[in-house]
Structure 1
């Protein structure tokens, strides 16, 4: 009897949490995109515009390949991971301050707001990847994904890591106004450690050891490993990530 009551209570709590997150997701979409133009489709459109734009520019600069790796999928995989990293962390800056009015509602916790924002970035950038990938694959402009399991596992590990960093950023920026000014400069300085612009195999052995200290590089390499398969050498460790 006690176990049944506990199970019922747990089920009710989970339903309430789901309803709260659903309401926060809808509110976040409305605040960010409203009803104008294409509305919430900008959630996919923003990262898609950046990725497609960079794909075009890199194609003019490098041609079809760079170090034997096709340019279009190289950019598509690299910038998709970079976008979720930058967007999710940026959205967590002053998250509590901007949504302080919501704490009037008893069911809403600070953590709920962070989860809602994280989910939006996770889903939006992943959809943007497939919106760009599917037409190119159908037109045989790029090769199909080799292993979806590895690729999507890398994606969710990357999102989990980024969410963890975002939690730290959200806390620090609430405690100090000054720290907010360092977030974007540090994000730019960390670009070489994201693995978005290169493959680890292209680097000298000494540089490889340095960049592989970065979990972001493991995420990018694993994501590309799932996409390219054995045709392109990748270096990653899922347990380290």
Structure 2
């Protein structure tokens, strides 16, 4: 009797997720026109437009923060969250035939999309911040590890929520109607385009308990030398991400029994 080792299981997992990523790339972007490049061009163009709005604004409260990288980081990272959150509702519906293969799971499908969005975000950030630095509109990250830690927290949070959305929308299609409105509401609440120190009390303390605002504070702390991590609570932040991820894993595991592939 052959017993699958942990290494064999990880090898199969890597192959499955890799194949799903390539399928997602081809399905979403195809080979017409700019093809796969649109994965990076779309967030790059939108982020540049947002950043340019802040250029030359003498009334900006962020006098010690360069406006171009501030806009680039805020919008590029929020795009990653929005893409994972809003596209999770169709994961099972569009990929149900793949579940005929025993090695493919709902978790693999969501993970493949999540890794694709993470890779796109990292590349776009690196390219745009590099270009802004060469143009004299930005400085290299002051604390690269803090920036990566903030981005990792945001990705785990987004991935956990995408698992919950995937499971909830499969159980009740009415939930789908609320996914996009929620993402619009979270845009101004997330902290992507403001710093907590700009807010008056008591709103500053209230918003500091929302995990996403702490994530963006940590990302900006990593990028800007003048951005302090006053409102970042690492233990609370990690705990929040782990709770959301754990609930997402439980939800996907529960919904798998209700998915009919026949």
Superposed pair shares fold, TM > 0.5: yes
Q: Structure 1 residues 72 and 66 mapped into 2: Cα distance closer, same or farther (>3 Å)?
A: farther
1:98-152 CA-partner distances (Å, limit 9, x unpaired)? 1111112221111100100110111111211111110111232211110110100
1:21 to 4, 17, 24: 17
Counterpart-to-counterpart distance in 1, 2:174 and 2:71: 34
Q: In the alignment, does 2:53 pair up with 1:57?
A: yes
Say if 2:84 and 2:117, in contact at 8 Å, map to a contact too. Answer: yes
Counterpart-to-counterpart distance in 2, 1:92 and 1:238: 27
1:97 to 93, 96, 103: 93
Name the SS for the 1:112 alignment partner. helix
Q: Which residue of 2 aligns with 1:34?
A: 30
Q: In the alignment, does 2:150 pair up with 1:137?
A: no
Counterpart-to-counterpart distance in 2, 1:167 and 1:65: 37
Say if 2:154 and 2:215, in contact at 8 Å, map to a contact too. Answer: yes
**Aligned alpha-carbon RMSD (Å):** 1.7
Counterpart-to-counterpart distance in 2, 1:26 and 1:187: 27
Q: Which residue of 1 aligns with 2:150?
A: 154
Counterpart-to-counterpart distance in 2, 1:63 and 1:93: 42
Say if 2:207 and 2:213, in contact at 8 Å, map to a contact too. Answer: yes
Q: In the alignment, does 2:228 pair up with 1:233?
A: yes
2:6 to 4, 10, 13: 10
Q: Structure 1 residues 89 and 197 mapped into 2: Cα distance closer, same or farther (>3 Å)?
A: same
Query: Which structure 1 segments of 5+ residues have no match?
Result: none
1:159-214 CA-partner distances (Å, limit 9, x unpaired)? 00111111111111111111100111111112222101211011113111111121
Report matched runs for 1:65-104 at 5 Å: 65-68=60-63, 69-104=65-100
Q: Which residue of 2 aligns with 1:181?
A: 177
Query: Which structure 2 segments of 5+ residues have no match?
Result: 238-262
Counterpart-to-counterpart distance in 1, 2:8 and 2:228: 48
Q: How many residues align?
A: 234
Counterpart-to-counterpart distance in 1, 2:138 and 2:61: 14
Q: Structure 1 residues 107 and 200 mapped into 2: Cα distance closer, same or farther (>3 Å)?
A: same
Q: Which residue of 2 aligns with 1:201?
A: 197
Say if 2:66 and 2:137, in contact at 8 Å, map to a contact too. Answer: no
| Structure 1 position 232, deviation (Å) | 2.7
Counterpart-to-counterpart distance in 1, 2:126 and 2:62: 25
Say if 2:29 and 2:36, in contact at 8 Å, map to a contact too. Answer: yes
1:116 to 104, 112, 125: 112
| Structure 1 position 77, deviation (Å) | 1.7
TM-score (norm: length of structure 1): 0.92
Counterpart-to-counterpart distance in 2, 1:200 and 1:179: 31
TM-score (norm: length of structure 2): 0.84
